[in-house]
Chain A
Amino acid sequence: MARKIPATTDSGPKVDRRKFLTGVAVAGAAGTMTPQSANANGAVGVTAARLPSALPPTAYTIAAETGTPAKDLARIGGVAGSDFMVDVIKTLDIKYLPSNCASSFRGIHESLINYGNNKMPEFLTCTHEESAVGMAHGYFKITGKPLLTLCHGTVGLQHASMAIYNAWCDRVPVIVVGGNDLDAAHRPPGVPTFHSAQDINALVRDFTKWDDTPVSLQHFAQSMVRAYKISMTPPYGPVMISLDAGLQQEPVKPHGSGEKLYIPKYTPTSAPQGDSNAVREAAKLLANAEAPVIVVDRAARSENGVRLLVQLAETLQARVVDMGGRMNFPKTHHLSAGAPAVNSADVIIGMELSDFWAVVNSYIDNGEHGIGFNQTRLKPTTKLISINSVDLNTKANYQDFQRFQAVDIAMAADAETTLPSLIEAVKAAIPNDRKAAIEKRGEAAKKAHAEARERNKQAAAIAWDSSPISTARLSMEIWGQIKNEDWSLVAQSGNVSNWPHRLWPMEKHHHWLGQSGGYGVGYGAPAAVGAALANRDLGRFSVSIQGDGDLMYAPGVLWTAAKHKIPMLSVMHNNRGYHQELMHVQRLSSFRNRVASLGGDMGPIGTSIMNPDIEYHKLAESMGWWARGPITDPEKLGPAIKEAMAVVKSGQPALLNVWTQPR
């Protein structure tokens, strides 16, 4: 590491960071002397002579106060190592850097804002590391570009780890750099010691694609470009770099045998495509199927992915079940179908599914003796095809790959990249005598789609005027106001029975960004702010349906949105409880022949967020948002949203605290 270079060989100034910190440490130690050291001074039982309150200046102080300052005031004796790090980062076209400041990366922090002029990336002040990573998560889903975040390698990374896990499960790249003071011989005592570790990356190694601990500036340059490249190769994922504090702060020195530092060129890696034989075999099965069904989760990585899926579905007139990890397929399309479509399928192709097993099996919680049981949805002859890039990047510890599902054709490949060849292969494989049957299948799908839409509308009308406000009414009141905007539903952390998916004309990739991935509550608010930041730059309108429990994990991200002028409309689905858990406890109470103890709340003890009710509108107002609430009368919701929309269009964030039905 940089600091292993002996001080005597250092051509820089003699008053360096270490000596300064040592001085600080000595001053601090005077007040915290240990019993042993007190004894060493022979102080036991003896009252020490009282020192005068003002001591004469030392020779060092006299010199500092009376000497002539040197011409060059730079104290590090050359170019700061972290300036070079900023040069490296700037080659990667990273626009923002959401972060909660920390001393272990003060070197690079200073370089970013002063040497780097706080542009590309721009430092965004966050109040929690989980918020910073969550923002990067949401930002990527709009732009397709990763953000960089900095955090303390120990305490900050522990805060960030939940959000990193969500990004891992959701196949989202985030570049996490954790500051760490590696060299225990020179590390400042006190806080920096508690904030250092031998291997900070170990904390998140199970759910990052790659990590490294660069020990030189040249090593940093290689690690940074490599990290970016790995995170941006499908399947995407977060990466981690441990950044030594000394390396940031010490001056650039010749590397190795004296070669000059260089920055490696970043060349994107092409995504893995399905093997051509497997593609051909899959096409044959699909082309000859009576009832093929396409099931997608994170298949469309872009708008082009949506177009390709439409093309494949229309070629086959196959119904498409969108599991919602992304906006894969237009909900207005006649081939868009619900999950029961798989029941009658004879060939199912699953693309980028995190859980193929759950697509073709049902699970009933709490059967006899409290154990759940499964039922297959498949006919015995149904053929299964899988295209999944996650097959290339599975780890052992965390079980995000779910149960093992046997399939007939498996391609470890990126679905969006494989689609063009699959579409061509399907076109070539469709026999002429099947074309009429395929067309007829499409007509049946049109009828089924229209009927389902009618049913959805009638279901939405039930409890339309109820208070607390129904989730259908909530969703449609929002839609009534945003329908003429280029809108983006940036998060739906509250569960509103999928009403936006069922009733809004969700057609474009940015209309829906998917959920958290790891179901880690607390994703919604920061991901919404991150996505809204990206949409702001694109001139798009961002709306979030914000869960109450989700917001309370790290509400400080509201302040970040106001601070950095990120406009968005946040409409709360405030059902005043952790509703999923509330139902779980109720379920167990019923199975055990007990009446759940409510403790004066509406849900079982420990699951409600009430008494007192949280005034989210006041919380948001206190952090610079325009906010109103609580809104309980459904007739008042539409006008309130309209008022909030005007605020958002003026460039500010606005929040409505709405009391809602549970789901």
Chain B
Amino acid sequence: MSRQFFRFALAAFAAGVVLAHAPALAADAAKGKAAFMKYGCWQCHGTEGQGSAITSAGKVLAPDPLPLETFAAFVRSTDRAMPPYSELALPPADLADIHAYLSSIPKAKDYKTIPLLNQ
């Protein structure tokens, strides 16, 4: 994972250069993936937001995450099963990037197309 992470960091840097002229606060999926790792979201939700029956009560973050406003409200307060992230610990811009990353994850395959899930 660390090699991938560094590869990704390079990509994120390159993306940052390209996006230097983009609107100042536009959410960035590449930066969002880095933030998803940095702030520990991946730990319970998996690196692709796939969730886990054990660590996220089966909740799937992506594809199709909650709308940004609802998503942000939950992250700030949560149901306490998930620790709440304040703005001190997770700045709004990074949260928006994380949402952009989750929104960029393509829809999962239909399990009926996966032979191993149809035995």
Residues of A within 8 A of B (CB): 364-367, 373, 457-468, 470-471, 473, 476-477, 479-480, 483, 495, 497-498, 502-503, 576, 579, 582-583, 586-591, 593-596, 598, 601-604, 610-611, 613, 659, 661-663
Contacts and interface: CB of A to CB of B under 8 A. Distances in A.
Most buried by A among B5, B54, B81, B118: B54
B47 A586 contact: no
Contacts of B37: 602
Contact of B54 (A466, A497, A582, A611): A497
Nearest to A476: B116
Contacts of B110: 458, 461
A476 B43 CA distance: 22
B83 A587 contact: yes
A473 B48 CA distance: 14
Contacts of B89: 589-590, 593-595
Contacts of B116: 473, 476-477, 479-480
Contacts of A576: 1
A593 B86 contact: yes
Nearest to B81: A364
Nearest to B105: A463
Interface in B101-119: 108-111, 114, 116-119
Nearest to B86: A593
Interface of B: 1-2, 4-5, 37-40, 42-44, 46-48, 50-55, 58, 60, 80-81, 83-86, 88-90, 108-111, 114, 116-119
Give the top 10 A-B pairs by smallest Cβ distance, nearest first. A590-B83, A463-B50, A461-B111, A663-B52, A586-B40, A462-B108, A457-B111, A463-B48, A462-B50, A593-B88
11 contacts: A364-B81, A459-B60, A462-B108, A463-B46, A464-B109, A479-B119, A583-B40, A583-B44, A587-B83, A602-B37, A610-B1
A468 B83 contact: no
A483 B42 CA distance: 31
A361 to B, nearest CB: 14
A661 B46 contact: yes
Nearest to A478: B116
Contact of B48 (A457, A462, A583, A586): A462
B92 to A, nearest CB: 14
Contacts of B119: 479-480, 483
Contacts of B111: 457-458, 460-461
A466 B2 CA distance: 15
A591 B83 contact: yes
B77 to A, nearest CB: 12
Given A461-B111, A591-B84, A595-B90, 11 more contacts: A367-B80, A458-B110, A459-B51, A459-B53, A463-B48, A467-B4, A476-B116, A497-B53, A590-B89, A602-B2, A662-B43
A582 B43 contact: yes
Contacts of B42: 602, 662
Nearest to B61: A462
B49 to A, nearest CB: 8
A610 B2 contact: yes
Contact of B117 (A366, A461, A588): A461
Contacts of A587: 83
A583 B55 contact: yes
B40 A463 contact: no
Most buried by A among B58, B81, B83, B116: B116
